[in-house]
Amino acid sequence: MSEPLSDTPAPAGDERPVRIVIGENNADLAVTLSVLLDAEVDMRCVAIASSKQSVLAAIDTHAPNAFILDLSLDDGSSLPLIAELRTRLPAAVIVIFTGHQNDWLNEQCLRAGADAVVIKTGEFEQLTSAVRQAAVRRDTLRQQAASEG
């Protein structure tokens, strides 16, 4: 089950286009990330989920356009979840935030549809930068598709 951080919608005129669901089974880290993300002017954490099922439930409840996922959730690896999210929300930003420094595993995440892999031992700015860069790429792709179609 996803845990909303706030039941009140963003105020009118709020220019935070990146609505993020955090998929993280470490509750303290998830809350810390949500506070740090909410301090960013262009980001808003809309839910914290500790399992694949709660990440998926958050789609209908919170209308996210971005996901920050740990590779290990309460109900197993989030690797299969990446492909499912990519199918359900093709334009969504998916950033894997992991403690695994494994090139093969990181490549598998990217092949499954993740936009970026950020190692947890890095600076917080690496995570926000990855989200922003992926959002720009996804917006560009949407605009190109709209102009062609």
Residue 9 pLDDT: 37
Nearest to residue 34, comparing CAs of 73, 60, 56, 5? 5
Both tokens of residue 136? Answer: 């720009």
Contacts of 45 (CB under 8 A, 6+ apart): 5, 20, 21, 22, 33, 34, 37, 38
Alpha-carbon gap, residue 131 to 149, rounded angstroms: 27
Taking the alpha carbons at both ends of the chain, their separation in whole angstroms is: 37
The whole-angstrom separation of Cα 18 and Cα 32 is 18
pLDDT tens digits, one per residue of 21-30: 999 999 999 9
Name residues whose C-beta falls within 8 Å of residue 146's C-beta, 6 or more positions apart in sequence: none
Q: Give tens-digit pLDDT for 59-70.
A: 999 999 999 999
Domain boundaries, the chain: 16-148
Task: Look at residue 144 in the predicted model and tell me its pLDDT.
Answer: 79
Residue-wise pLDDT for 129-138, tens only, equals 999 999 998 8
As a whole number of angstroms, the distance between CA 77 and CA 47 comes to: 19
With beta carbons less than 8 A apart as the criterion, state whether 96 and 71 touch: yes
Q: Are 59 and 88 in contact, with CB atoms under 8 Å apart?
A: yes
Phi and psi angles of residue 139, each rounded to the nearest 5 degrees, phi first: -65, -40
H/E element, 116: strand 116-119
Look at residue 2 in the predicted model and tell me its pLDDT: 40
Which residues of the chain, if any, have pLDDT below 70?
1-16, 149
pTM: 0.86
Measured CA distances, 56 to 82, 122, 128, 143 (Å) = 11, 27, 22, 26
The pLDDT value given to residue 142: 77
Q: Which pLDDT does position 149 carry in this prediction?
A: 67
Instruction: Report the top-level CATH class of 16-148.
Output: alpha beta
